[in-house]
Structure 1
Amino acid sequence: MKQIPIYKVRQAMTPDDLIAVQKLRYEIFVIEMGAKEGDIDHIHKLEQDKYDPFCKHLMLIDVNRGSNPIEQIVGVYRILTQTGAKAAGGFYTATEFDLGPLLNSGRKIIELGRSCLRKSHRGGIAMLHLWQALNNFVKEEKAEVLFGTASFQGTDIQSFVQPFSLLHNEYLTPKKIRPKAIASAYVPLNQLEVSQIERVKALKAMPALIKAYLRLGGGVADGAFIDYKFNTIDVCMILDIAKMNIRQKSIYSRKLN
């Protein structure tokens, strides 16, 4: 009989914790999603980069998933504060998007990234546990704006003209804090005329994480970035805490257990 998951979330505190995080990311981003290049360690099966040592890593643990601590980790979220970014030489998102408007806004910003869940834990409350832990971190840091890349799987632009066009026409972030995809890999989101957008079809083709940000009141940057290394097309999501959807915000503040 399959055991019901019992979740808890904590930060990675040791080198072994970080290795466990990178192993899960390898399983999902490399094996499942087809990432091919970058700082991937295929020998030890680690998906890693130069920003990892400067980030906070949230780990979602299912205590009912065997006795192996690595196998018990079923989800992760990476957080990079302004202090961490300064030590790392910048934000990861800046490799894909011009963050000038955000960096010059005078607001306290936090970058989110490398979010993933094991397949068997998708579609339920697992991500909600991670988001609630993230909500607590954001409150402690007194962050004002959250941002980071979110991905469409694959690099065929024509596969995503519906969701891209919907994002451009309904969810552009205000210009004063709106990043823009760097010119060398810029993909315009405005692919279709407004009359050609089929909202239901567009939302169906949109990854769950992006829809979650939109429900919270988030928006997107100008353009998308083709990331051939990860076999994705990335958009930059921006969430102004002060403008979050109150109903959705209450969900992420509610105690689960």
Structure 2
Amino acid sequence: MKPLSRGRYEVRLAQTAAEIGAAQRLRHSAFLAARGKARASGQDADAYDDTASHVLVFDQARADPVACFRVQEFRGETVARSYSAQFYDLARLACFPGPMLELGRFCLDPARHDPDILRLAWAGLTRMVDERGIALLFGCSSFAGADTGLHAKALAALAPRLAPDLWRPGPLAPERVTLADLAAQSAASEAALPPLLRTYLSMGGWVSDHAVIDREMDTLHVLTGVEIAAIPPARARALRLLAA
């Protein structure tokens, strides 16, 4: 991905181990420390960091990133090596006829609230999708907190947004809850959907028919997919203008 600058910010791939370490510290701050789950290492790191590409947004006035995410490309049966494949049976998705890009650990510095940071992150992702000819974005979309009750209304609202049968992820993780069951027990409300997941849905995205409880990260997540060809034309044009 070619670097992209807008005003005071720049988005680009991490170039050194030190920059990947900075992304891991930012992830720790956003996903763990902010919820009272700080680790002694001060980092959120796993084995998938070694094979992923790390995209960072920098404020050019400071050294550390203000946003980051990681991506990894898969084709066919290689999707079984993805982070998401720990939690979901992706056998159907392995038949998807095009390059797939797994997106994960998307976060912003909790102390920064400039919308230009998020816009530039999306611009960088759009540029990467177009440069690589990606046909599908996918990944785990997380809700903060592993208590299903906290998210029942939001999860119930996802029940009509399921993946097509052809690509639908199957159950794998031992701790999971079915969206249809939640929809039958709770009033649906999109108000509490995480912003990133809401963005995926606005681009025509779909979700797994169940949510997985991840005790290690203290989250609950659904597998989300966005087929690039299905993004509404006006939205696709707006994203490509950002990336130009």
TM-score, normalising length from structure 1?
Answer: 0.84
Q: 1: CA distance between counterparts of 2:113 and 2:184?
A: 34
Q: 1: CA distance between counterparts of 2:22 and 2:143?
A: 25
Q: Which residue of 1 aligns with 2:221?
A: 234
Q: Could you tell me which amino acid in structure 2 is paired with residue 111 of structure 1?
A: E
Q: 2: CA distance between counterparts of 1:205 and 1:140?
A: 34
For residue 94 of structure 2, the aligned residue among 83, 103, 119 is 103
Q: Which residue of 1 aligns with 2:208?
A: 221
How many residue pairs get matched?
236
Instruction: Output aligned runs, 1:194-213, within 5 Å.
Output: 197-198=187-188, 202-213=189-200
Deviation by residue 1:1-35 (Cα, 9 ceiling, x = unmatched) = xxxx7211010011111111111111112201355
1:47 aligns with 2:26: no
1:29 aligns with 2:35: no
For residue 57 of structure 1, the aligned residue among 54, 57, 76 is 54
Q: 2: CA distance between counterparts of 1:82 and 1:183?
A: 21
State the secondary structure of the residue aligned to 2:123.
helix
Q: Which residue of 2 aligns with 1:184?
A: 174
State the secondary structure of the residue aligned to 2:162.
coil
For residue 106 of structure 2, the aligned residue among 104, 115, 123 is 115
Q: Which residue of 2 aligns with 1:142?
A: 133
Q: 1: CA distance between counterparts of 2:173 and 2:103?
A: 23
Q: Which residue of 1 aligns with 2:3?
A: none
Q: 1: CA distance between counterparts of 2:197 and 2:83?
A: 18
Q: Which residue of 1 aligns with 2:232?
A: 245
Q: 2: CA distance between counterparts of 1:152 and 1:47?
A: 17
How many angstroms does 1:186 deviate by? 1.9
- Bigger drift between 25-34 and 171-180 goes to 25-34
Q: Could you tell me which amino acid in structure 1 is paired with residue 108 of structure 2?
A: L
Q: 1: CA distance between counterparts of 2:177 and 2:114?
A: 30
Q: 1: CA distance between counterparts of 2:242 and 2:115?
A: 16
Q: 2: CA distance between counterparts of 1:178 and 1:129?
A: 31
Q: 2: CA distance between counterparts of 1:192 and 1:129?
A: 35
How much identity, in percent, do the aligned residues show?
27
Q: Which runs of 5+ in 1 are unaligned?
A: none
Q: Which runs of 5+ in 2 are unaligned?
A: 1-6
Q: Could you tell me which amino acid in structure 2 is paired with residue 56 of structure 1?
A: S
Q: Which residue of 1 aligns with 2:4?
A: none
User: Contact 2:86 / 2:173 at 8 angstroms: preserved in 1?
Assistant: no
How many angstroms does 1:193 deviate by? 3.5
Q: Could you tell me which amino acid in structure 2 is paired with residue 185 of structure 1?
A: E
User: Contact 1:150 / 1:210 at 8 angstroms: preserved in 2?
Assistant: yes
- Bigger drift between 25-34 and 211-220 goes to 25-34
Deviation by residue 1:124-151 (Cα, 9 ceiling, x = unmatched) = 2311111111011011111111100011
How many angstroms does 1:180 deviate by? 2.7
> Following superposition, which runs of at least 4 residues in structure 1 exceed 4 angstroms of deviation?
none
State the secondary structure of the residue aligned to 1:175.
coil
How many angstroms does 1:224 deviate by? 0.5
How many angstroms does 1:107 deviate by? 2.5
Q: 2: CA distance between counterparts of 1:180 and 1:14?
A: 37
